[in-house]
Amino acid sequence: MSRAARSILCPCSGDYSDDDSSWDMPASAAEAYEGIPLVLEVSPHIASRPTQTRSVHVRVGERGEASDQVISYFNNAAKTPLSKSVQEAGECAMRQQANPWEAQQDELPRVRELYSMLLKGSSPDDICIAPSTAFAMTMAAHNLERLGILQKDDSILVLENQYDSVIYPFQDVCQRTGACLAVIPHPTVNQTWTCSILDRLNASNDSTSRIKVAILPSLHWANGSLLDLVSISEACQVHNVLLLVDATQSLGVLELDLTKVKADMVAASVHKWLLGPVGLSLVYLAPRHQTTWLPLDQHGRARQVPPGWNASSDMMDPISGFYPSLFQKGAQRCDSGGKPNPILIPMIRAGLEQVTQQSLPDIQQKLVQVTNAVVSKAQPLGFVSVPGPRGPHIVGLQPGPSLIQTLTPQVMLAMAERLAKNKGIYVAVRCGGFRISPYLDTTLHDVDRLIDALAQECLRVQEERKNDTNQL
């Protein structure tokens, strides 16, 4: 039993004391964490992320008991664990909702301001909100169709295995207009993704199917392959191609300078590198579209209240008028649906405060150390990563020649499940590889745990395969 060990544990019940913020850990757990500085956060029902040593958690069982499992989280590209400040913002917003007579501050202006701070060259007036990146992309697709920008035989440039929130809205618009998708395949050792994209854009004028829109991320969501959006944007300008950016997997870690990348729209779901909750995408809309694009759904918040209009006395007649018709100025006209979500907005505000205070070069340096270690240590096991430039925070480990027969996607999924269940190591399986996406509190010790566990798993599945073959 170690009272000196301070844990991030949040038991729903159990032997902890509020007043001295300590908790009597089971001996096995205390032994595991000996010497590791942990912080106690008492928060029933919510497994908190530690404020200082996030990668070391104690799990809380169903009955509020701790198991002594250490967690190594390599899945920030799926969903970030919520920091204490984001949780508190949500809890506080929830309490305010319970008491509707209490005034709640409108935090949306601050959210627009913080998001625009991540996009050099933008202003808060250029930011609108959507419930998801798919929603934002659907809004864009409808506007491009409505304005006659996308027509029969036009092409829309996308990547092979691009995230579906981008693809579905444009598949839909292709069906209606007769436009088609021009899919740029994964990079090879001889050709980077950026080069392939530039070649296709430069060939656009000679081709029968002219590229009208390119919808691209800064890096690929499944393997971290990096695109040079500055050169791509320059080519888009030359060929009069609109550029829509899905920055979900990059903003918060990578810079996006809109004075160099002349994007028409930039959407980023907030529940990964922007440290927010699931359920929101923040969207930059270039000023040139702010008088012509329409929101996907129609609601009063997108309209300007006319001067002198009085909600308590003026009557509204759907035919003869008094429903304000003028849209809001700026990107706000494209805000989605009704009232901003009163729980999520304060939470993302808290996440963005954190993100905007961090130094991008420091974050990148820290993360690249971890992902480089993963790549070099996974190589002797038989894993390879995609050729070409890669972002600092996401890497895909593909089975190389020695593993390719054994590690089918199904086998990898089963391996990932065992890693999570038995070892508390969280990775994703995406596009035929393990996707490794650490964040700032992932340590080189976590990398060693991951590599040891992967080595054991590879041995195990190879043994199983041998046994299966022997039985045939």
Ligand X SMILES: Cc1ncc(COP(=O)(O)O)c(C=O)c1O
Residues that bind ligand X (CB under 6 A): 132-134, 163, 165, 217, 221, 246, 248-249, 269, 281
Which residue, 223 or 281, is less far from ligand X as judged by CB?
Answer: 281
Q: Any residues with CB less than 8 A from the CB of 443 and at least 6 apart, and which?
A: 55, 370
CB of 58 to ligand X, least distance (A): 28
Cβ-contact 381, 455 below 8 angstroms: yes
* Residue 364, token pair as written in the block: 């990148």
CB of 216 to ligand X, least distance (A): 10
CB of 132 to ligand X, least distance (A): 3
Which residue, 215 or 258, is less far from ligand X as judged by CB?
Answer: 215
Which residue, 40 or 86, is less far from ligand X as judged by CB?
Answer: 86
CB of 344 to ligand X, least distance (A): 12
> Rounded CA gap, 247 and 133, in Å?
9
CB of 38 to ligand X, least distance (A): 30
Which residue, 78 or 455, is less far from ligand X as judged by CB?
Answer: 78
* Residue 388, token pair as written in the block: 């070409």
> Rounded CA gap, 350 and 72, in Å?
24
Which residue, 112 or 435, is less far from ligand X as judged by CB?
Answer: 435
Which residue, 170 or 221, is less far from ligand X as judged by CB?
Answer: 221
Which residue, 25 or 232, is less far from ligand X as judged by CB?
Answer: 232
Task: Write the CA distances from 419 to 29, 135, 386, 422, integer angstroms.
Answer: 19, 34, 23, 6
CB of 184 to ligand X, least distance (A): 15
> Rounded CA gap, 125 and 154, in Å?
31
123: left (phi over 0), alpha (psi -120 to 50) or beta: beta
Which residue, 163 or 284, is less far from ligand X as judged by CB?
Answer: 163
Beta strands in 136-293 (DSSP E): 155-159, 180-184, 211-217, 242-246, 256-257, 265-269, 281-285
Which residue, 16 or 273, is less far from ligand X as judged by CB?
Answer: 273
CB of 431 to ligand X, least distance (A): 11
CB of 416 to ligand X, least distance (A): 17
> Rounded CA gap, 24 and 47, in Å?
17
CB of 162 to ligand X, least distance (A): 8
> Rounded CA gap, 202 and 198, in Å?
6
Q: Point out which residues pair with 19 in neighbouring strands.
A: none
Q: Point out which residues pair with 398 in neighbouring strands.
A: 384
> Rounded CA gap, 271 and 254, in Å?
16
206: buried, middle or exposed (CB in 10 Å: 19+, 13-18, 0-12)? Answer: exposed
Cβ-contact 427, 416 below 8 angstroms: yes
